[in-house]
Amino acid sequence: MNILTVVLKFLKNLFSNEKTKETKSVSKNADAKNITGDTKMETKNEGIQILPILEIYNLRKYWNTERQWEGIVVHHSQTKDLQTVDWTEIFKYHTEVNGWQDIGYNFGIEKQDNQYVFCIGRSLNIAGAHTKGYNSSHLGICLVGNYDVAPPSEEQLIMLTDLVIQIQHLTGIKNEAILGHWETYIPRGLAKNQKEAQAIKSCPGLMFSVEEFRKRLEV
């Protein structure tokens, strides 16, 4: 490789780096624009609304409801989360196959393009469609992934903790009112204990310890 080739290669790299930087800053500005626009969030992948990650600490800005929520039910989607956008698929399934007016959950956490994002679901003003007997009192959060086969990643758990804590600040929901889907089978009289309940419904996954998750909220 002669010196000219090296210089040309260097300049080419420099140019392509600059170009990437430029694209990044444009999309960053686009995010900023959405953040300032009151309840407007970033929209990508067929109308799916994404809450910019740091905006989780500004959740109050998006909390456009007077509805008194009493608890939260945590779910998993039981789908394989690779690089697909399962949130879109869940939305389509709930609206097109089930014929519901919107996706059943209020929030989701999914890995998209190699990074976890907060997905916005059903309006906070209306009852959800995720847990029999709890839809009008409890918000539904869905972790996209299958935690029957492997536990959720630490990153996803941290995001869930952040989201739940912010919701607690806005609603006063107590730690004991944060439930895994299977736990609702016990008060509903459908199961006597964890084993029986999880045999009917394992959600949010056999490898997801709801008990351990609640402990994260205590600190």
CA gap 55, 43 in Å, rounded: 14
Among 116, 203, 205, 213, binds Zn ion (CB under 5 A): 203
- Smallest distance from the beta carbon of 207 to Zn ion, in angstroms? 14
For 111, phi and psi rounded to 5 degrees? -85, 120
Q: Give the residue with the Cβ less far from Zn ion, 166 or 198.
A: 198
Burial 1-13 (b: 16+ CB within 10 A, else e): eeeeeeeeeeeee
- Smallest distance from the beta carbon of 65 to Zn ion, in angstroms? 22
Binding piece for Zn ion, criterion CB under 5 A, among 34-42, 51-59, 73-81, 85-93? 73-81
CA angle 32, 35, 38 (to 5 degrees): 145
- Smallest distance from the beta carbon of 158 to Zn ion, in angstroms? 21
Of 77, 82, 80, the residue nearest 92 (C-alpha): 77
Among 116, 181, 197, 205, binds Zn ion (CB under 5 A): 181
Based on the shown chain and the rule CB under 5 A, indicate whether residue 41 belongs to the binding site for Zn ion.
no
Footprint on this chain of Zn ion (rule: CB under 5 A): 75, 181, 203
